[in-house]
Amino acid sequence: MTERQFSTKLVTNRRKERAFPISTNSQFAVAIHTLTLIAQAEDGPVTSEYIAGSVNTNPVFIRRILGLLSRAGLVISQPGVGGGWRLLRDPATITLLDVFRAVDEGHLLSMHHSTPNIDCTVGRNIQHTLSVYFGEAEHAFEQVLAQQTVAQVLKTVLDTPSSQQK
């Protein structure tokens, strides 16, 4: 079989899989929401139930996120009556990259789980090529996150007119 015939076969037998998954993981967004809400609460600790009400999710999911943020040294729990969660650092010193790294489970972009066919020129070379591009994209993503803080997110949220917050 020639390479051209192989390529045609690949196109006609495509699966509905993507070369890299489009993540439906919302942990990063929820973690930013959580930290921003805690940063806004100047009068004391914030409960996971209160955070869950703002995020509109289950408190158990929030507690999982808070556990990751705690392990990263971003929050601490205060047990007992009137307890809850508070920031361990000033929100102006917590970058979105800190948050991303606290909840990230791997690379932003990943390769297909199957090994490509090495008898195809594209299959033989695609993973190396994509790893270069993906690495550059992840680096750019991290640079942007490193320049933004939880304090900036809070300021933007508070400055946004309520008509835009739908």
How much of the chain exceeds pLDDT 90, in percent? 66
15 in a structural domain:
no
3 in a structural domain:
no
4 in a structural domain:
no
5 in a structural domain:
no
- pLDDT of residue 4 exceeding 70, the answer is no
Beta bridge mates, 95: 149
10 in a structural domain:
no
Distance of CA 42 to the CA centre of its chain: 26
Q: Three-class SS of residue 85?
A: strand
Residues 6+ apart with CB under 8 A from 55: 30, 33, 34, 62
Mean pLDDT value of segment 56-80: 95
| Alpha-carbon separation of residue 135 from 27, 60, 127, 130, 140 (angstroms) | 22, 34, 12, 8, 9
Question: Terminal CA-to-CA distance of the chain, rounded, Å?
Answer: 56
The pLDDT tens digits for 105-138 are: 677 787 877 888 899 999 999 999 999 999 999 9
Q: Measured between alpha carbons, how far is 130 from 135 in angstroms, rounded to an integer?
A: 8
Distance of CA 166 to the CA centre of its chain: 22
pLDDT band at 165 (very low <50, low <70, confident <90, very high): low
- Range in 3-7, 28-32, 39-43, 131-135 the model is least confident about: 3-7
CATH code where residue 93 lies: 1.10.10.10
Nearest to 75 by CA among 48, 53, 115: 48
pLDDT band at 96 (very low <50, low <70, confident <90, very high): very high
Q: Measured between alpha carbons, how far is 32 from 129 in angstroms, rounded to an integer?
A: 32
Q: Measured between alpha carbons, how far is 109 from 107 in angstroms, rounded to an integer?
A: 5
The parent domain of residue 152 ranges over 25-164
pLDDT band at 81 (very low <50, low <70, confident <90, very high): confident
Q: Measured between alpha carbons, how far is 30 from 4 in angstroms, rounded to an integer?
A: 47
50 in a structural domain:
yes
13 in a structural domain:
no
Number of domains observed in the structure of the chain: 1
14 in a structural domain:
no
